[in-house]
Structure 1
Protein backbone atom coordinates (compact mmCIF):
# COMPACT_ATOMS: atom_id res chain seq x y z
CA UNK A 1 0.00 0.00 0.00
CA UNK A 2 1.17 3.54 -0.77
CA UNK A 3 1.90 5.93 2.07
CA UNK A 4 -0.34 8.95 2.58
CA UNK A 5 1.33 12.29 1.83
CA UNK A 6 -1.23 14.31 3.83
CA UNK A 7 -3.94 13.61 6.37
CA UNK A 8 -6.76 15.80 7.60
CA UNK A 9 -10.50 16.35 7.48
CA UNK A 10 -12.72 16.95 4.45
CA UNK A 11 -15.89 18.90 5.18
CA UNK A 12 -18.94 20.23 3.33
CA UNK A 13 -21.56 22.08 5.32
CA UNK A 14 -21.59 20.49 8.78
CA UNK A 15 -20.63 17.07 7.35
CA UNK A 16 -17.01 15.99 7.96
CA UNK A 17 -14.98 12.91 7.10
CA UNK A 18 -11.32 12.21 8.05
CA UNK A 19 -9.31 11.54 4.88
CA UNK A 20 -5.79 10.84 3.66
CA UNK A 21 -4.22 12.03 0.42
CA UNK A 22 -2.29 9.70 -1.91
CA UNK A 23 -0.32 10.29 -5.09
CA UNK A 24 -2.39 9.09 -8.06
CA UNK A 25 0.24 9.34 -10.81
CA UNK A 26 3.39 7.29 -11.44
CA UNK A 27 6.16 8.73 -13.60
CA UNK A 28 7.37 6.17 -16.17
CA UNK A 29 9.62 8.59 -18.05
CA UNK A 30 13.04 7.21 -18.98
CA UNK A 31 15.69 9.14 -17.04
CA UNK A 32 19.22 9.61 -18.37
CA UNK A 33 22.45 10.49 -16.58
CA UNK A 34 24.59 13.37 -17.82
CA UNK A 35 28.00 12.18 -19.09
CA UNK A 36 30.96 13.89 -20.66
CA UNK A 37 30.90 12.90 -24.32
CA UNK A 38 33.40 10.15 -25.13
CA UNK A 39 33.69 9.04 -21.50
CA UNK A 40 31.63 7.38 -18.78
CA UNK A 41 32.28 10.28 -16.41
CA UNK A 42 29.19 11.68 -14.68
CA UNK A 43 28.53 15.41 -15.02
CA UNK A 44 26.95 17.16 -12.04
CA UNK A 45 25.58 20.65 -11.56
CA UNK A 46 27.29 23.01 -9.16
CA UNK A 47 26.26 26.30 -7.58
CA UNK A 48 28.79 28.79 -8.88
CA UNK A 49 29.28 32.49 -8.16
CA UNK A 50 28.84 34.19 -11.55
CA UNK A 51 31.41 36.89 -10.75
CA UNK A 52 34.19 34.79 -9.20
CA UNK A 53 33.50 31.44 -10.86
CA UNK A 54 33.93 29.72 -7.48
CA UNK A 55 31.56 27.11 -6.05
CA UNK A 56 29.28 28.32 -3.22
CA UNK A 57 28.23 26.16 -0.28
CA UNK A 58 24.48 25.60 0.08
CA UNK A 59 24.39 27.20 3.55
CA UNK A 60 25.98 30.40 2.14
CA UNK A 61 23.18 30.95 -0.41
CA UNK A 62 20.36 33.44 0.18
CA UNK A 63 17.37 34.34 -1.97
CA UNK A 64 17.29 37.72 -3.72
CA UNK A 65 14.29 39.53 -5.21
CA UNK A 66 15.40 41.76 -8.13
CA UNK A 67 14.29 45.40 -8.20
CA UNK A 68 13.78 46.48 -11.80
CA UNK A 69 13.75 44.61 -15.09
CA UNK A 70 17.46 44.65 -15.93
CA UNK A 71 18.99 41.46 -14.48
CA UNK A 72 22.64 42.50 -14.98
CA UNK A 73 22.49 45.78 -13.05
CA UNK A 74 19.58 44.89 -10.78
CA UNK A 75 19.52 45.65 -7.08
CA UNK A 76 18.23 42.89 -4.84
CA UNK A 77 16.23 42.64 -1.67
CA UNK A 78 17.80 39.71 0.19
CA UNK A 79 15.36 37.38 1.92
CA UNK A 80 16.55 34.63 4.28
CA UNK A 81 14.94 31.20 4.47
CA UNK A 82 13.97 31.78 8.10
CA UNK A 83 12.02 34.89 7.09
CA UNK A 84 10.09 32.92 4.47
CA UNK A 85 9.38 30.16 6.97
CA UNK A 86 7.91 32.67 9.44
CA UNK A 87 5.31 33.93 6.95
CA UNK A 88 4.60 30.55 5.30
CA UNK A 89 1.11 29.18 6.01
CA UNK A 90 1.00 26.26 8.40
CA UNK A 91 -0.08 22.83 7.26
CA UNK A 92 -3.85 22.62 6.82
CA UNK A 93 -5.69 19.94 8.71
CA UNK A 94 -8.91 20.82 6.90
CA UNK A 95 -10.12 20.75 3.31
CA UNK A 96 -13.30 22.77 3.63
CA UNK A 97 -15.46 22.76 0.52
CA UNK A 98 -16.82 26.30 0.14
CA UNK A 99 -19.08 25.55 -2.83
CA UNK A 100 -19.95 23.12 -5.59
CA UNK A 101 -19.52 23.92 -9.30
CA UNK A 102 -20.65 22.20 -12.46
CA UNK A 103 -17.63 20.43 -13.95
CA UNK A 104 -18.69 21.46 -17.45
CA UNK A 105 -18.14 25.09 -16.42
CA UNK A 106 -14.47 24.58 -15.46
CA UNK A 107 -12.01 24.89 -18.32
CA UNK A 108 -9.46 22.00 -18.39
CA UNK A 109 -6.56 24.49 -18.31
CA UNK A 110 -7.32 25.15 -14.62
CA UNK A 111 -6.62 21.55 -13.52
CA UNK A 112 -3.10 20.55 -12.50
CA UNK A 113 -2.11 17.46 -10.44
CA UNK A 114 -4.41 14.64 -9.35
CA UNK A 115 -4.42 12.88 -5.97
CA UNK A 116 -6.61 10.18 -4.46
CA UNK A 117 -8.59 10.91 -1.31
CA UNK A 118 -9.36 7.92 0.91
CA UNK A 119 -11.31 7.58 4.18
CA UNK A 120 -9.16 7.12 7.29
CA UNK A 121 -11.08 4.15 8.63
CA UNK A 122 -14.00 1.87 7.80
CA UNK A 123 -16.27 3.80 10.17
CA UNK A 124 -16.08 6.80 7.81
CA UNK A 125 -16.94 4.83 4.65
CA UNK A 126 -20.63 5.81 4.57
CA UNK A 127 -20.05 9.57 4.72
CA UNK A 128 -17.21 9.23 2.20
CA UNK A 129 -19.38 7.25 -0.21
CA UNK A 130 -22.27 9.69 0.25
CA UNK A 131 -20.15 12.59 -0.98
CA UNK A 132 -18.68 10.56 -3.85
CA UNK A 133 -22.13 9.43 -5.03
CA UNK A 134 -23.62 12.93 -4.80
CA UNK A 135 -20.73 14.42 -6.82
CA UNK A 136 -21.02 11.69 -9.44
CA UNK A 137 -24.79 12.07 -9.84
CA UNK A 138 -24.64 15.86 -10.16
CA UNK A 139 -21.43 16.04 -12.25
CA UNK A 140 -20.11 18.63 -9.80
CA UNK A 141 -16.84 19.32 -8.01
CA UNK A 142 -16.33 20.75 -4.54
CA UNK A 143 -14.01 23.77 -4.55
CA UNK A 144 -11.70 24.22 -1.56
CA UNK A 145 -8.30 25.59 -0.53
CA UNK A 146 -5.77 23.88 1.71
CA UNK A 147 -2.08 24.03 2.58
CA UNK A 148 0.44 21.25 1.98
CA UNK A 149 4.22 21.53 2.29
CA UNK A 150 4.04 25.26 3.06
CA UNK A 151 2.12 26.03 -0.11
CA UNK A 152 -1.52 26.97 -0.47
CA UNK A 153 -3.54 25.25 -3.18
CA UNK A 154 -6.86 25.84 -4.86
CA UNK A 155 -8.42 22.41 -5.30
CA UNK A 156 -11.38 20.57 -6.81
CA UNK A 157 -12.78 17.46 -5.09
CA UNK A 158 -14.52 15.28 -7.64
CA UNK A 159 -15.80 11.75 -8.11
CA UNK A 160 -14.19 8.90 -9.97
CA UNK A 161 -15.49 5.32 -9.94
CA UNK A 162 -14.99 3.99 -6.37
CA UNK A 163 -12.83 6.91 -5.19
CA UNK A 164 -12.76 10.65 -4.53
CA UNK A 165 -9.98 12.60 -6.20
CA UNK A 166 -8.52 15.95 -5.27
CA UNK A 167 -7.12 17.97 -8.15
CA UNK A 168 -4.93 20.97 -7.50
CA UNK A 169 -5.86 23.91 -9.69
CA UNK A 170 -4.15 26.97 -11.09
CA UNK A 171 -5.15 30.36 -9.70
CA UNK A 172 -6.93 32.67 -12.12
CA UNK A 173 -3.96 35.04 -12.46
CA UNK A 174 -1.73 32.12 -13.51
CA UNK A 175 -3.75 31.41 -16.65
CA UNK A 176 -2.53 33.24 -19.72
CA UNK A 177 -4.94 35.01 -22.06
CA UNK A 178 -4.93 32.87 -25.25
CA UNK A 179 -5.42 35.94 -27.45
CA UNK A 180 -2.30 37.52 -26.00
CA UNK A 181 -0.32 34.25 -26.04
CA UNK A 182 -1.24 32.48 -29.28
CA UNK A 183 -0.60 34.37 -32.52
CA UNK A 184 -2.97 33.94 -35.44
CA UNK A 185 -6.10 32.85 -33.57
CA UNK A 186 -9.03 33.09 -36.02
CA UNK A 187 -11.45 35.87 -35.15
CA UNK A 188 -14.11 35.13 -37.75
CA UNK A 189 -14.06 32.34 -40.32
CA UNK A 190 -16.84 31.62 -42.79
CA UNK A 191 -17.88 27.99 -42.43
CA UNK A 192 -20.62 26.56 -44.59
CA UNK A 193 -23.34 24.45 -43.02
CA UNK A 194 -22.27 21.53 -45.19
CA UNK A 195 -18.67 21.69 -43.97
CA UNK A 196 -19.79 21.69 -40.34
CA UNK A 197 -22.23 18.84 -41.02
CA UNK A 198 -19.50 16.73 -42.64
CA UNK A 199 -17.13 17.42 -39.74
CA UNK A 200 -19.84 16.23 -37.32
CA UNK A 201 -20.41 13.11 -39.43
CA UNK A 202 -16.69 12.39 -39.39
CA UNK A 203 -16.59 12.74 -35.60
CA UNK A 204 -19.56 10.38 -35.31
CA UNK A 205 -17.77 7.86 -37.52
CA UNK A 206 -14.65 8.05 -35.35
CA UNK A 207 -16.53 7.98 -32.03
CA UNK A 208 -15.22 5.34 -29.59
CA UNK A 209 -15.85 4.39 -25.99
CA UNK A 210 -13.23 5.81 -23.62
CA UNK A 211 -10.90 3.00 -22.64
CA UNK A 212 -7.56 4.31 -21.30
CA UNK A 213 -6.03 0.82 -21.52
CA UNK A 214 -6.18 1.15 -25.32
CA UNK A 215 -3.51 3.87 -25.25
CA UNK A 216 0.13 3.62 -24.26
CA UNK A 217 3.30 5.68 -24.37
CA UNK A 218 4.90 4.42 -27.58
CA UNK A 219 7.68 7.00 -27.29
CA UNK A 220 9.02 5.33 -24.14
CA UNK A 221 8.96 1.99 -25.99
CA UNK A 222 10.96 3.54 -28.82
CA UNK A 223 13.45 5.00 -26.34
CA UNK A 224 13.97 1.51 -24.90
CA UNK A 225 14.43 0.08 -28.41
CA UNK A 226 16.84 2.91 -29.28
CA UNK A 227 18.95 2.14 -26.20
CA UNK A 228 18.97 -1.58 -27.03
CA UNK A 229 19.82 -0.90 -30.70
CA UNK A 230 22.74 1.31 -29.72
CA UNK A 231 23.91 -1.31 -27.21
CA UNK A 232 23.92 -3.87 -30.04
CA UNK A 233 25.68 -1.43 -32.38
CA UNK A 234 22.74 -1.30 -34.79
CA UNK A 235 21.48 1.64 -36.84
CA UNK A 236 18.87 4.03 -35.44
CA UNK A 237 15.39 4.48 -36.92
CA UNK A 238 14.48 7.86 -38.40
CA UNK A 239 11.00 9.20 -37.66
CA UNK A 240 8.69 9.95 -40.58
CA UNK A 241 7.82 13.53 -41.48
CA UNK A 242 4.36 14.72 -40.35
CA UNK A 243 1.63 14.90 -43.03
CA UNK A 244 1.13 18.13 -44.94
CA UNK A 245 -1.53 20.61 -43.83
CA UNK A 246 -4.97 20.23 -45.45
CA UNK A 247 -5.53 22.61 -48.34
CA UNK A 248 -8.68 24.68 -47.77
CA UNK A 249 -9.60 24.23 -51.43
CA UNK A 250 -9.68 20.43 -50.98
CA UNK A 251 -11.41 20.53 -47.56
CA UNK A 252 -14.71 18.99 -48.68
CA UNK A 253 -12.93 16.23 -50.60
CA UNK A 254 -10.70 15.41 -47.64
CA UNK A 255 -13.69 15.37 -45.26
CA UNK A 256 -15.61 12.99 -47.52
CA UNK A 257 -12.64 10.66 -47.92
CA UNK A 258 -12.19 10.66 -44.13
CA UNK A 259 -15.88 9.84 -43.60
CA UNK A 260 -15.66 6.95 -46.08
CA UNK A 261 -12.56 5.60 -44.39
CA UNK A 262 -14.11 5.88 -40.91
CA UNK A 263 -17.19 4.03 -42.19
CA UNK A 264 -15.06 1.18 -43.55
CA UNK A 265 -13.27 0.82 -40.20
CA UNK A 266 -16.53 0.89 -38.26
CA UNK A 267 -18.04 -1.70 -40.61
CA UNK A 268 -15.04 -3.96 -40.15
CA UNK A 269 -15.37 -3.74 -36.39
CA UNK A 270 -19.08 -4.54 -36.55
CA UNK A 271 -18.49 -7.57 -38.75
CA UNK A 272 -15.75 -8.76 -36.41
CA UNK A 273 -18.00 -8.41 -33.38
CA UNK A 274 -20.81 -10.34 -35.05
CA UNK A 275 -18.48 -13.18 -35.95
CA UNK A 276 -17.21 -13.41 -32.37
CA UNK A 277 -20.73 -13.27 -30.99
CA UNK A 278 -22.04 -16.31 -32.94
CA UNK A 279 -19.50 -19.13 -32.56
CA UNK A 280 -22.16 -21.84 -32.59
CA UNK A 281 -23.56 -20.70 -35.92
CA UNK A 282 -20.09 -20.85 -37.43
CA UNK A 283 -19.68 -24.44 -36.30
CA UNK A 284 -23.04 -25.55 -37.75
CA UNK A 285 -22.49 -24.25 -41.26
CA UNK A 286 -18.91 -24.02 -42.40
CA UNK A 287 -18.67 -21.96 -45.57
CA UNK A 288 -16.43 -23.13 -48.33
CA UNK A 289 -13.03 -21.50 -47.94
CA UNK A 290 -12.52 -18.80 -50.55
CA UNK A 291 -9.25 -17.45 -51.85
CA UNK A 292 -7.32 -15.82 -49.03
CA UNK A 293 -6.23 -12.24 -49.64
CA UNK A 294 -2.54 -11.65 -50.04
CA UNK A 295 -0.95 -10.53 -46.74
CA UNK A 296 0.65 -7.55 -48.47
CA UNK A 297 -2.74 -6.29 -49.69
CA UNK A 298 -4.21 -6.28 -46.17
CA UNK A 299 -1.14 -4.68 -44.67
CA UNK A 300 -1.08 -1.85 -47.17
CA UNK A 301 -4.40 -0.61 -45.77
CA UNK A 302 -2.74 0.04 -42.39
CA UNK A 303 -0.89 3.11 -41.17
CA UNK A 304 2.75 2.83 -40.17
CA UNK A 305 1.77 3.06 -36.49
CA UNK A 306 -0.59 0.10 -36.92
CA UNK A 307 2.08 -1.87 -38.79
CA UNK A 308 4.54 -1.13 -36.00
CA UNK A 309 2.04 -2.35 -33.38
CA UNK A 310 1.62 -5.65 -35.25
CA UNK A 311 5.37 -6.02 -35.58
CA UNK A 312 5.71 -5.42 -31.83
CA UNK A 313 3.05 -8.04 -31.04
CA UNK A 314 4.83 -10.78 -32.98
CA UNK A 315 8.35 -9.62 -32.09
CA UNK A 316 9.73 -8.62 -35.51
CA UNK A 317 13.43 -7.85 -34.89
CA UNK A 318 14.76 -4.43 -35.90
CA UNK A 319 11.24 -3.01 -36.34
CA UNK A 320 12.13 0.39 -34.85
CA UNK A 321 14.52 1.04 -37.75
CA UNK A 322 12.11 0.02 -40.53
CA UNK A 323 10.17 2.32 -42.79
CA UNK A 324 6.60 1.51 -43.86
CA UNK A 325 7.56 -0.69 -46.83
CA UNK A 326 10.07 -2.65 -44.77
CA UNK A 327 7.46 -3.24 -42.06
CA UNK A 328 5.00 -4.54 -44.68
CA UNK A 329 7.66 -6.86 -46.11
CA UNK A 330 8.72 -8.16 -42.68
CA UNK A 331 5.12 -8.76 -41.56
CA UNK A 332 4.27 -10.51 -44.84
CA UNK A 333 7.21 -12.87 -44.44
CA UNK A 334 6.30 -13.54 -40.82
CA UNK A 335 2.71 -14.34 -41.85
CA UNK A 336 3.84 -16.72 -44.58
CA UNK A 337 6.25 -18.50 -42.21
CA UNK A 338 3.45 -18.89 -39.66
CA UNK A 339 1.11 -20.42 -42.27
CA UNK A 340 3.82 -22.73 -43.55
CA UNK A 341 4.49 -23.97 -40.03
Structure 2
Protein backbone atom coordinates (compact mmCIF):
# COMPACT_ATOMS: atom_id res chain seq x y z
CA UNK A 1 0.00 0.00 0.00
CA UNK A 2 1.44 3.38 -1.04
CA UNK A 3 2.77 5.59 1.79
CA UNK A 4 1.64 9.17 1.25
CA UNK A 5 2.91 10.76 4.47
CA UNK A 6 5.36 9.94 7.26
CA UNK A 7 5.38 11.64 10.62
CA UNK A 8 4.69 11.38 14.31
CA UNK A 9 1.41 11.38 16.22
CA UNK A 10 1.70 12.34 19.87
CA UNK A 11 -0.61 12.41 22.86
CA UNK A 12 0.84 13.61 26.12
CA UNK A 13 4.46 12.44 26.19
CA UNK A 14 3.82 9.46 23.92
CA UNK A 15 5.18 9.76 20.36
CA UNK A 16 4.16 7.29 17.66
CA UNK A 17 6.09 7.17 14.35
CA UNK A 18 3.43 6.42 11.74
CA UNK A 19 2.81 6.15 8.00
CA UNK A 20 -0.32 7.39 6.27
CA UNK A 21 -2.11 5.39 3.56
CA UNK A 22 -5.27 6.23 1.61
CA UNK A 23 -8.10 4.10 3.01
CA UNK A 24 -10.49 4.58 0.10
CA UNK A 25 -10.23 4.82 -3.68
CA UNK A 26 -12.41 6.38 -6.33
CA UNK A 27 -13.83 3.69 -8.60
CA UNK A 28 -15.48 6.09 -11.04
CA UNK A 29 -15.06 5.07 -14.68
CA UNK A 30 -13.16 7.83 -16.43
CA UNK A 31 -14.32 8.58 -19.96
CA UNK A 32 -12.07 10.47 -22.38
CA UNK A 33 -13.37 13.16 -24.72
CA UNK A 34 -12.63 12.61 -28.43
CA UNK A 35 -13.04 14.75 -31.51
CA UNK A 36 -16.10 13.21 -33.17
CA UNK A 37 -14.69 13.57 -36.70
CA UNK A 38 -11.34 11.81 -36.29
CA UNK A 39 -11.78 10.16 -32.86
CA UNK A 40 -8.62 11.75 -31.46
CA UNK A 41 -8.36 12.77 -27.77
CA UNK A 42 -9.09 16.44 -27.16
CA UNK A 43 -6.17 18.39 -25.70
CA UNK A 44 -6.49 20.93 -22.91
CA UNK A 45 -3.67 23.44 -22.88
CA UNK A 46 -2.79 26.24 -20.48
CA UNK A 47 -3.10 29.48 -22.41
CA UNK A 48 -2.78 33.13 -21.50
CA UNK A 49 -5.72 35.02 -23.07
CA UNK A 50 -3.90 38.38 -22.97
CA UNK A 51 -0.58 37.24 -24.45
CA UNK A 52 -2.50 34.84 -26.70
CA UNK A 53 0.02 32.05 -26.32
CA UNK A 54 0.43 28.68 -24.65
CA UNK A 55 2.42 28.78 -21.40
CA UNK A 56 4.39 26.18 -19.46
CA UNK A 57 4.17 25.34 -15.75
CA UNK A 58 7.34 27.27 -14.92
CA UNK A 59 5.67 30.44 -16.25
CA UNK A 60 2.78 30.13 -13.78
CA UNK A 61 2.67 31.69 -10.31
CA UNK A 62 0.09 31.31 -7.56
CA UNK A 63 -1.98 34.24 -6.37
CA UNK A 64 -4.98 35.09 -4.18
CA UNK A 65 -7.79 37.08 -5.82
CA UNK A 66 -8.94 39.47 -3.08
CA UNK A 67 -11.18 41.47 -5.47
CA UNK A 68 -12.27 41.17 -9.09
CA UNK A 69 -9.06 40.97 -11.19
CA UNK A 70 -6.92 42.09 -8.23
CA UNK A 71 -4.38 39.58 -6.95
CA UNK A 72 -1.75 39.10 -4.28
CA UNK A 73 1.05 37.02 -5.84
CA UNK A 74 2.58 34.41 -3.55
CA UNK A 75 6.17 33.33 -4.24
CA UNK A 76 6.91 29.62 -4.38
CA UNK A 77 9.68 30.13 -1.80
CA UNK A 78 7.25 31.72 0.67
CA UNK A 79 4.76 28.89 0.29
CA UNK A 80 7.45 26.23 0.61
CA UNK A 81 8.92 27.75 3.77
CA UNK A 82 5.48 28.06 5.32
CA UNK A 83 4.69 24.46 4.42
CA UNK A 84 8.05 23.28 5.79
CA UNK A 85 7.51 25.18 9.04
CA UNK A 86 4.21 23.41 9.63
CA UNK A 87 5.29 19.95 8.46
CA UNK A 88 8.23 19.89 10.86
CA UNK A 89 5.78 19.80 13.75
CA UNK A 90 4.43 16.48 14.98
CA UNK A 91 0.71 15.73 14.75
CA UNK A 92 -0.51 16.31 18.27
CA UNK A 93 -3.80 14.93 19.53
CA UNK A 94 -5.45 17.95 21.12
CA UNK A 95 -8.52 16.39 22.72
CA UNK A 96 -10.33 13.10 23.19
CA UNK A 97 -14.08 13.09 22.51
CA UNK A 98 -16.89 10.65 21.76
CA UNK A 99 -17.45 9.76 18.12
CA UNK A 100 -21.18 10.44 18.52
CA UNK A 101 -20.36 14.06 19.36
CA UNK A 102 -19.32 14.71 15.74
CA UNK A 103 -22.01 14.99 13.09
CA UNK A 104 -21.17 13.04 9.86
CA UNK A 105 -21.42 16.30 7.87
CA UNK A 106 -17.92 17.13 9.13
CA UNK A 107 -16.25 13.98 7.77
CA UNK A 108 -14.08 14.30 4.67
CA UNK A 109 -11.56 11.54 3.77
CA UNK A 110 -10.25 8.43 5.50
CA UNK A 111 -6.64 7.22 5.85
CA UNK A 112 -5.11 4.15 7.43
CA UNK A 113 -2.32 4.67 9.94
CA UNK A 114 0.42 2.07 10.25
CA UNK A 115 3.34 2.12 12.71
CA UNK A 116 6.69 3.23 11.35
CA UNK A 117 10.01 1.83 12.59
CA UNK A 118 10.11 1.71 16.37
CA UNK A 119 6.48 2.70 16.78
CA UNK A 120 4.74 -0.67 17.11
CA UNK A 121 4.33 -0.68 20.91
CA UNK A 122 3.15 2.95 21.13
CA UNK A 123 0.77 2.28 18.22
CA UNK A 124 -0.71 -0.66 20.09
CA UNK A 125 -0.96 1.42 23.28
CA UNK A 126 -3.02 4.16 21.59
CA UNK A 127 -5.20 1.61 19.81
CA UNK A 128 -5.96 -0.20 23.07
CA UNK A 129 -6.61 3.02 24.99
CA UNK A 130 -9.05 4.28 22.35
CA UNK A 131 -10.80 0.90 22.24
CA UNK A 132 -11.18 0.64 26.02
CA UNK A 133 -12.46 4.19 26.48
CA UNK A 134 -14.61 4.35 23.35
CA UNK A 135 -13.06 7.75 22.57
CA UNK A 136 -11.49 9.30 19.47
CA UNK A 137 -8.64 11.79 19.23
CA UNK A 138 -8.89 15.25 17.66
CA UNK A 139 -5.66 16.28 15.89
CA UNK A 140 -4.22 18.55 13.20
CA UNK A 141 -2.08 17.52 10.24
CA UNK A 142 -0.64 19.12 7.09
CA UNK A 143 -1.65 17.24 3.92
CA UNK A 144 -0.90 18.63 0.46
CA UNK A 145 -0.07 22.11 1.76
CA UNK A 146 -3.29 22.38 3.75
CA UNK A 147 -3.70 22.19 7.50
CA UNK A 148 -6.41 19.63 8.18
CA UNK A 149 -8.45 18.99 11.26
CA UNK A 150 -8.66 15.24 11.81
CA UNK A 151 -9.83 12.49 14.11
CA UNK A 152 -7.93 9.34 15.06
CA UNK A 153 -10.06 6.29 15.84
CA UNK A 154 -10.00 2.51 15.76
CA UNK A 155 -11.41 0.64 12.75
CA UNK A 156 -11.33 -3.12 13.27
CA UNK A 157 -7.69 -3.60 14.42
CA UNK A 158 -6.23 -0.53 12.71
CA UNK A 159 -5.90 3.13 13.60
CA UNK A 160 -7.72 5.32 11.11
CA UNK A 161 -7.33 9.03 10.62
CA UNK A 162 -10.24 10.89 9.07
CA UNK A 163 -9.91 14.49 7.99
CA UNK A 164 -12.86 16.61 9.02
CA UNK A 165 -14.03 20.04 7.93
CA UNK A 166 -13.53 23.13 10.02
CA UNK A 167 -16.79 24.71 11.26
CA UNK A 168 -16.46 27.64 8.83
CA UNK A 169 -16.24 25.15 5.93
CA UNK A 170 -19.70 23.77 6.67
CA UNK A 171 -22.33 25.96 5.05
CA UNK A 172 -25.13 27.35 7.16
CA UNK A 173 -28.47 25.57 6.96
CA UNK A 174 -30.04 29.03 6.87
CA UNK A 175 -28.82 29.28 3.25
CA UNK A 176 -30.75 26.17 2.16
CA UNK A 177 -33.81 27.33 0.17
CA UNK A 178 -37.43 26.20 0.55
CA UNK A 179 -37.06 24.32 3.83
CA UNK A 180 -40.45 24.51 5.66
CA UNK A 181 -40.39 25.41 9.35
CA UNK A 182 -43.43 23.37 10.37
CA UNK A 183 -45.48 20.51 8.95
CA UNK A 184 -49.20 19.80 9.26
CA UNK A 185 -49.14 16.03 9.71
CA UNK A 186 -51.94 13.80 10.89
CA UNK A 187 -51.30 11.07 13.44
CA UNK A 188 -52.15 8.43 10.82
CA UNK A 189 -49.59 9.78 8.35
CA UNK A 190 -46.86 9.84 10.97
CA UNK A 191 -47.77 6.39 12.27
CA UNK A 192 -47.65 4.93 8.74
CA UNK A 193 -44.25 6.52 8.09
CA UNK A 194 -42.83 5.17 11.37
CA UNK A 195 -44.17 1.69 10.56
CA UNK A 196 -42.49 1.81 7.14
CA UNK A 197 -39.17 2.86 8.74
CA UNK A 198 -39.44 -0.04 11.20
CA UNK A 199 -40.12 -2.52 8.38
CA UNK A 200 -37.04 -1.35 6.44
CA UNK A 201 -34.76 -1.26 9.47
CA UNK A 202 -31.78 -3.64 9.20
CA UNK A 203 -28.18 -4.00 10.31
CA UNK A 204 -25.71 -2.13 8.14
CA UNK A 205 -24.00 -4.57 5.76
CA UNK A 206 -21.94 -2.47 3.33
CA UNK A 207 -21.12 -5.41 1.05
CA UNK A 208 -24.74 -5.72 -0.06
CA UNK A 209 -24.74 -2.26 -1.66
CA UNK A 210 -23.44 -2.14 -5.24
CA UNK A 211 -22.78 0.61 -7.76
CA UNK A 212 -25.29 -0.55 -10.37
CA UNK A 213 -24.53 2.27 -12.81
CA UNK A 214 -20.79 1.54 -12.83
CA UNK A 215 -21.46 -2.18 -13.35
CA UNK A 216 -23.86 -1.52 -16.23
CA UNK A 217 -21.44 0.96 -17.84
CA UNK A 218 -18.58 -1.56 -17.72
CA UNK A 219 -20.84 -4.26 -19.21
CA UNK A 220 -21.75 -1.88 -22.05
CA UNK A 221 -18.07 -1.08 -22.68
CA UNK A 222 -17.10 -4.78 -22.69
CA UNK A 223 -19.99 -5.65 -25.04
CA UNK A 224 -18.90 -2.98 -27.53
CA UNK A 225 -15.31 -4.13 -27.23
CA UNK A 226 -16.22 -7.78 -27.86
CA UNK A 227 -18.23 -6.74 -30.93
CA UNK A 228 -15.17 -4.82 -32.13
CA UNK A 229 -17.02 -1.51 -31.92
CA UNK A 230 -13.75 0.20 -31.18
CA UNK A 231 -11.77 3.05 -32.65
CA UNK A 232 -8.10 3.96 -32.76
CA UNK A 233 -7.05 7.57 -32.47
CA UNK A 234 -5.25 8.86 -35.53
CA UNK A 235 -1.65 9.88 -34.94
CA UNK A 236 -0.69 13.40 -35.81
CA UNK A 237 1.17 13.44 -39.13
CA UNK A 238 4.47 15.30 -39.10
CA UNK A 239 5.85 16.37 -42.49
CA UNK A 240 9.22 14.86 -43.41
CA UNK A 241 12.19 16.70 -44.91
CA UNK A 242 11.13 15.92 -48.49
CA UNK A 243 7.70 17.44 -47.94
CA UNK A 244 9.24 20.48 -46.29
CA UNK A 245 11.64 20.90 -49.23
CA UNK A 246 8.85 20.62 -51.80
CA UNK A 247 6.75 23.15 -49.87
CA UNK A 248 9.69 25.55 -49.78
CA UNK A 249 10.36 25.11 -53.52
CA UNK A 250 6.72 25.60 -54.49
CA UNK A 251 6.42 28.70 -52.31
CA UNK A 252 9.62 30.10 -53.80
CA UNK A 253 8.31 29.45 -57.30
CA UNK A 254 5.03 31.18 -56.51
CA UNK A 255 6.89 34.10 -54.99
CA UNK A 256 9.04 34.41 -58.12
CA UNK A 257 5.98 34.39 -60.40
CA UNK A 258 4.29 37.07 -58.34
CA UNK A 259 7.37 39.29 -58.35
CA UNK A 260 7.61 39.04 -62.17
CA UNK A 261 4.00 40.11 -62.55
CA UNK A 262 4.47 43.26 -60.55
CA UNK A 263 7.97 44.16 -61.87
CA UNK A 264 7.95 47.43 -63.98
CA UNK A 265 8.91 47.18 -67.70
CA UNK A 266 12.27 48.66 -68.68
CA UNK A 267 12.44 51.30 -71.47
CA UNK A 268 14.85 50.49 -74.32
CA UNK A 269 16.73 53.18 -76.41
CA UNK A 270 18.00 52.67 -80.01
CA UNK A 271 20.67 54.68 -81.86
CA UNK A 272 19.69 56.25 -85.19
CA UNK A 273 21.88 55.44 -88.20
CA UNK A 274 23.38 58.60 -89.88
CA UNK A 275 23.37 57.17 -93.48
CA UNK A 276 26.84 58.56 -94.13
CA UNK A 277 29.84 56.42 -93.80
CA UNK A 278 32.89 57.67 -92.06
CA UNK A 279 35.92 57.89 -94.26
CA UNK A 280 39.38 57.82 -92.94
**Under a length normalisation based on structure 2, what TM-score does the superposition of the two structures give?**
0.72
Equivalent residue for 2:182? 188
Candidates 184, 206, 214, aligned match of 1:212: 206
Gaps of 5+ in 2: 230-280
Deviation at 1:62, TM superposition (A): 2.0
SS in 1 for 2:160: strand
Equivalent residue for 1:117? 113
Equivalent residue for 2:197? 203
SS in 2 for 1:116: strand
Higher-RCO chain (CA-CA 8 Å, sequence separation at least 6): 2
Structure 1 residues 34 and 172: CA distance shift in structure 2, 3 A = same
Deviation at 1:93, TM superposition (A): 5.3
Cα distance between partner residues in 2 of 1:8 and 1:170: 21
Candidates 77, 85, 95, aligned match of 2:72: 77
Aligned counterparts, 1:7-26, within 5 A: 7-26=6-25
Deviation at 1:151, TM superposition (A): 2.3
What value does the CA root-mean-square deviation take over the aligned residues? Answer: 2.4
Structure 1 residues 194 and 164: CA distance shift in structure 2, 3 A = farther
Contact 1:92 1:147 in 2 (8 A): no
Cα distance between partner residues in 2 of 1:133 and 1:201: 40
Q: Flag the structure with higher helix content.
A: 1
Structure 1 residues 211 and 137: CA distance shift in structure 2, 3 A = farther
Deviation at 1:221, TM superposition (A): 0.9
Cα distance between partner residues in 1 of 2:57 and 2:24: 31
Q: Flag the structure with higher strand content.
A: 2
Cα distance between partner residues in 2 of 1:138 and 1:198: 39
Larger radius of gyration: 2
Cα distance between partner residues in 2 of 1:76 and 1:95: 33
1:163 aligns with 2:158: yes
Cα distance between partner residues in 2 of 1:142 and 1:38: 56
Q: Deviations over 1:121-174 (max 9, x none)?
A: 5x6445433432433444432001122343211110011111110001111111
Aligned length: 227
Structure 1 residues 143 and 92: CA distance shift in structure 2, 3 A = farther
Candidates 80, 87, 104, aligned match of 2:82: 87
Structure 1 residues 79 and 93: CA distance shift in structure 2, 3 A = closer
Contact 1:146 1:153 in 2 (8 A): yes
Cα distance between partner residues in 1 of 2:3 and 2:65: 38
Cα distance between partner residues in 2 of 1:102 and 1:148: 24
